[in-house]
Amino acid sequence: MTSQDSHNLFPSGFAHYPLYFSPEEQAGLIDAVKQGIAVAPFFQPTMPRTGAPLSVVMSNFGSLGWVTDKEKGYRYEPCHPKTGQPWPKLPEALGVLWDKVTDFPARPEATLINWYRADKASKMGMHVDNDENDLRAPVVSVSLGDPAMFRIGGPKRGGPTQGIKLYSGDVVVLAGDARLCHHGVSKVYYGESALVPKGGRINLTMRRVNGIGAT
């Protein structure tokens, strides 16, 4: 049973798959992250206009990667902003996950790798994922490492939110109405998992940027 089935206060199209990945599969995903950041190291994104750093550091898998900085703002780029090299390929386990939990006929082009570091008390403010050219595709998120309090509200900023504690191996899907609802991470429960090297939480967020058949 998903949280969509058991929590009708969540927006239509929201689905939660608790402990979707086994401990062994989670370790495999962490190994994939290690291999990915060896090619595309974690970097510090900054906010448009102000240049204030986000509390997470990040990288990406896929043909496109989400980046942000003071000069050009939020966008997708085919290469790492520091190395200038293409992003590493999407791990097949994540592609298979997308195929199983969505009915969208094309796989994601971008998978954000966000590291919520224990020494930085990282969080993620309420936001909407709307930098994509085609907003019909769902967003699929995988939690690894320390648990986190995920919150989701409505299409407008502010107002009531619903919270759900996500554990390592959990998967969340934002589709339908939930796709354009504000959401964020209000708290990470640091020190509850030893999965992530150096501690903290890794979140993998898969997004389709362009329409079907687009390059």
Task: Tell me: pLDDT of 20 over 80.
Answer: yes
**Annotation: CATH topology of 3-207:** Jelly Rolls (2.60.120)
Helix (H, G, I), strand (E, B) or coil at 206: strand
Phi then psi dihedrals of residue 90, to 5 deg: -60, 125
The pLDDT tens digits for 99-151 are 999 999 999 999 999 999 988 888 888 989 888 988 889 999 999 999 999 99
pLDDT at 8: 64
- Supply the DSSP symbol for 6: H
Residue type, 37: I
Percent of the chain with pLDDT over 90: 82
pLDDT at 26: 98
pLDDT at 214: 58
Query: Euclidean distance between the first and final Cα of the chain, in Å?
Result: 36
Q: pLDDT band for position 70 (50/70/90)? A: very high
The DSSP result for 21-71, as a single string, is: S-HHHHHHHHHHHHHHHHHS--B--B-TTT-PBPSSEEEEESS-EEE--TT
Mean pLDDT score of the chain, rounded to an integer?
92
Task: Tell me: pLDDT of 213 over 80.
Answer: no
Q: Please state the pTM of the whole predicted model.
A: 0.92
- Residue ranges of the alpha helices (H) in the chain? 3-6, 23-39, 92-101
Task: Tell me: pLDDT of 5 over 50.
Answer: no
Name residues whose C-beta falls within 8 Å of residue 60's C-beta, 6 or more positions apart in sequence. 40, 66, 80, 87, 110, 111, 112, 113
- Tell me what the mean pLDDT of segment 195-207 comes to: 96
Percent of the chain with pLDDT over 70: 95
Cβ burial of 172 (10 Å; 0-12, 13-18, 19+) is buried
Burial 58-93 (b: 16+ CB within 10 A, else e): bbbbbbbbbbbbeeeeeebeeebeeeeeebbebbee
Copy the structure tokens of residue 75.
């966008």
Q: pLDDT band for position 7 (50/70/90)? A: low
The pLDDT tens digits for 138-193 are 999 999 999 999 999 998 888 889 999 999 999 999 999 999 999 999 999 999 99
- Residue ranges of the alpha helices (H) in 83-139? 92-101
Cβ burial of 135 (10 Å; 0-12, 13-18, 19+) is middle
pLDDT at 2: 53
pLDDT at 6: 41
Q: What is the CA radius of gyration of the chain?
A: 16
Q: Using alpha carbons only, what angle is made at residue 104 by residues 213 and 158, rounded to the nearest 5 degrees?
A: 110
pLDDT at 141: 98
Q: pLDDT band for position 1 (50/70/90)? A: very low
Rounded to the nearest angstrom, the gap between the alpha carbon of residue 69 and the centroid of all alpha carbons in its chain is 18
The pLDDT tens digits for 79-101 are 999 999 999 999 999 999 999 99
Rounded to the nearest angstrom, the gap between the alpha carbon of residue 111 and the centroid of all alpha carbons in its chain is 7
